[in-house]
Amino acid sequence: MSNHVKRLYAAVSVLTGHGDIKQRLIKAYEENLAVIDDDDLPIALKQAFADCRHKMSQVDPLNGEGRIRASVRKMSIAEADACAHKLLDLYSDIIRYEDSAQESLPLSIAEQVAVPPFLIKSTSH
């Protein structure tokens, strides 16, 4: 699993925990998502992540609270909830993308096609 997938998983884990949605959103973003570089993400997901990043940092901070905290503080509960859902959608999209990018491997040895012995090249002469 790539680093950005792990970070998104950790963020979703925080979002599904206990406590106020705004506090969970701040913690999820500051501890896991703030360090993700847009260029590390698949092209299909860059815009969605950039939109989340913009939403989470659009308010100028007051009294040293930080841009993320200021932005989330200004959100309504419904906006914070929608932002959390957007992050969950982003995580599920990246999992689907990662799964489709991997080579399809057989689930068990029995599913592998056996090579008949007469087609195997002998190394002894």
Domain assignment present for residue 36? The answer is yes
Task: Report if residue 122 sits inside a domain.
Answer: no
Domain range for 70: 3-104
pLDDT in tens, 14-58: 999 999 999 999 999 999 999 998 888 888 899 999 999 999 999
Q: Tokens 């939109």: give the residue.
A: 51
The token pair that represents 49 in the structure block: 């992540």
Query: What would the two tokens of residue 16 be?
Result: 């599904």
State the average pLDDT over residues 50-67: 93
Sequence-separated (6 or more) residues with CB below 8 Å from residue 7: 32, 33, 35, 36
The count of structural domains within the chain is: 1
Residue 66 counted as domain residue: yes
Distance between CA 100 and CA 103 in Å, rounded? 8
pTM equals 0.75
In a domain, 12, yes or no: yes
Q: Give the pLDDT mean for 57-71.
A: 93
Asked if residue 30 is part of any domain, the answer here is: yes
**74 residue type, one letter:** K
